[in-house]
Structure 1
Amino acid sequence: MSERSEKFLPSPAVHRAPSHPVSVIIAAIAFYWAASLSVVFLNKTIMSGSEFKFPYPCFVTLFQLIVALVLLVVCGQLGKRKRMFSMVPPFEFDLDLARKIAPLSVIYVLMLTLNNLCLQLVEVTFYQVARSLSIFFNILFTYTMLHQKTSPGAALACAVVVLGFFVGAYGETNFSWAGLLAGVGSSVFVALYGIYVKKTLGAVDNNQWRLLHYNTAISIVLLVPIVLLSGEMGEIMREVYFLGDVQFWALMTVTGLAGFLINTAMFLQIKYTTALTNTISGTAKSCVQTLMAMVFYQNPITAMNGFGIFLSLFGSGIYSWVRYAEMQRR
């Protein structure tokens, strides 16, 4: 699981002002940043940046979903006795309900797998640019599937993001067509996922945790044959010499835990802050993520590449602001 899990939660309600202590608000934002940044850098470390180089995105996704499902089941049981876990319901699986949720799970699997593949193939500094087209595809699918028009302000912000995408891609020194296409594909399914979540939530009484139960379990079932057919399992058995290393599996498990915690972190950030704080926090986190990648990985950045990164982040921030203003007016 990864950063894309943030898309799982419904859009936050608009609050006039938070009535919570400043320390609680800061803690909620810090928790979200820690979980989200950890997922990106841990996944990058696993697949291309450590002594345990493990370039198998399908298997990594499958393992992290298994960790998430185990945690969901445990939290569901603890919720029966402990109040702090009460928001997570006990695990359930109804076959008829699962059939209704299955289309969402197909999109979810493709979104996660392509996202991990993109992260494996491109630098973290370029990762945000490669996936920035989710805003464009969100507008496109909202219009073609839901017949809802986008305001001129949001469309203009989207145009800035698209320009940043092309400028950043052209200026990228370690350019990868496969990584770029994986990022675009991930953006497509991120946009579709948001639409299908809204359509599917009604089937589980608008309970995002129940939907997460079903979605995670179905995704595991879908991913098993993909891992086998992709040839990753055979290659892992032949090529990976550290399968018996406890540190490797500990790193994989921690990454799965971080992916799971994003759901809780987003829930808390939405609960304890305003909608504006939530959107600004996400954009600021993306900026810090890019800067951290420059420092930790020493990724070379050309002037054009840097300008493209700036445009994509700036356009994303303006888009978030415009959408927030529209929510306020409604």
Structure 2
Amino acid sequence: MTDSSLTTQYAKIALVIAAYWIVSISMVFLNSHLLSSENRLDAPLFITFTQCVVTVAVCLTLSGISRLFPKLCWFPECTLSRDRMLKLLPVSIFFVMMITFNNICLKYVGVAFYTVSRSLTTVFNVIFTYIILGQRTSFPALLCCGLIIAGFLLGVQQEDGAGSLNVIGVLSGILASVSLSLYSIYTKKVLKIVNDSVSLLSFYNNVNALILFIPLIAVSGELSLVAKFSLLGSPDWWTEIFIVGVFGFAIGYVTMLQIQVTSPLTHNVSGTAKACAQTVIAVIYSEQVKSALWWTSNALVLIGSAQYTRVRQVEMAKHHQEAPRAQRSGKGDKKRLLESV
């Protein structure tokens, strides 16, 4: 590879990582503004529903453009299949739980404490991977989970001591982590239903979400709040809804793009660094003063998450190196090889 092509490759990677950071951080702040601003609509289910509507509309638009102008862009054909919708329903339920509890968490805890309140995803991944898939986690990885739990508990204690702890927000963060963990695990099982297309899975998840949200919104009593909302006829408010919806679609795209141009490990490291920057920006923006222990809680969460990623990457590399030797000797453990892929 020549110096110029190498420079071009590095520039592409830098642009993709920058896009991921911009989209992800913007998404968090926009959602927080929409859910916790002074003139907010106190109906998180309805707001999440509207974001799903925008995502479905974007998917259909891109699918149409791809069909008419295949050289301009490519997007899978978004045609509904009742059979696919039913098969994907369990995953869509976890998807609905994930985005709903995520938005409720943002509504009550704000962006500064968001990283800590949502930090238990890795821990639940370990738990559910063992319960559902029967896969054990190494002791070094469990130590990293211990760091994350310690950071979470310290963060909660610091918020409580400062009088700013919101129990609903923290519980929503925990439930969002549980939902995300289950969603990630089951997504691997159902991707073949949509021909391994993450974009098509996003389309079906959001279509199913629209159907699931309708009874939830009706039962929650949010319809009366929506009907009384003073900004319901405001083009500016609907523009905000549309922008957040577009960012909701974009975050899935830039996440996959970052993994493609780098690696899953680099993506996780980038996500950890982004969470750190996001927390600092939130504290500066809100002009808050945090204690040393509060910052320590965030550091424990971020260090634990980054170290867990590194430990798992080393373990996976070791498994891949051992696999060919085990196959040549004829003594390979088939189950272990499958789990290492």
Q: TM-score, normalised by structure 2?
A: 0.87
* Unpaired stretches in structure 2, ≥5 consecutive residues: 1-5, 321-341
Counterparts of 2:106 and 2:197 in 1: how far apart (Å)?
Answer: 30
Matches of residues 1-330 of structure 1 in structure 2 within 5 Å?
A: 21-49=9-37, 51-80=38-67, 81-86=69-74, 88-172=75-159, 173=162, 174-238=164-228, 240-329=229-318, 330=320
**RMSD, matched Cα:** 1.5
Q: Distance in 1 between matches of 2:196 and 2:264?
A: 19
Which is further off, 92-101 or 300-309? 300-309
What's the offset of the Cα at 1:328?
2.7
Q: Which sections of structure 1, spanning at least 5 residues, go unmatched?
A: 1-17
Identity of aligned residues (%): 35
- More relative contact order, 1 or 2 (CA 8 Å, 6+ apart): 1
- What amino acid is the match of 2:218? L
1:47 is aligned with what amino acid?
L
Match of 2:325 in 1: none
1:9 aligned residue: none
Residues 55 and 246 in structure 2, CA contact (< 8 A), matched pair in contact too: yes
Worse-superposed segment, 273-282 or 244-253: 273-282
- 8 A contact 1:68–1:260 mirrored in 2: yes
Tell me the distance in 2 between the aligned counterparts of 1:211 and 1:99: 13
User: For 1:91, what is the secondary structure of its paired residue?
Assistant: coil
SS in 1 for 2:250: helix
2:177 partner letter: S
- State the number of aligned residues: 310
Residues 154-210 of structure 1, C-alpha deviation per residue, up to 9 Å, x if partnerless? 111111000001000000131011111111111111110011101111222222222
Contact 2:43-2:225 at 8 Å conserved across structures? no
Report the residue type matching 2:271 in the other structure: G
TM-score scaled to structure 1, two decimals? 0.90
Change over 3 Å in CA distance of 1:19–1:73 after alignment to 2: farther
- Matched residue of 2:135: which SS? coil
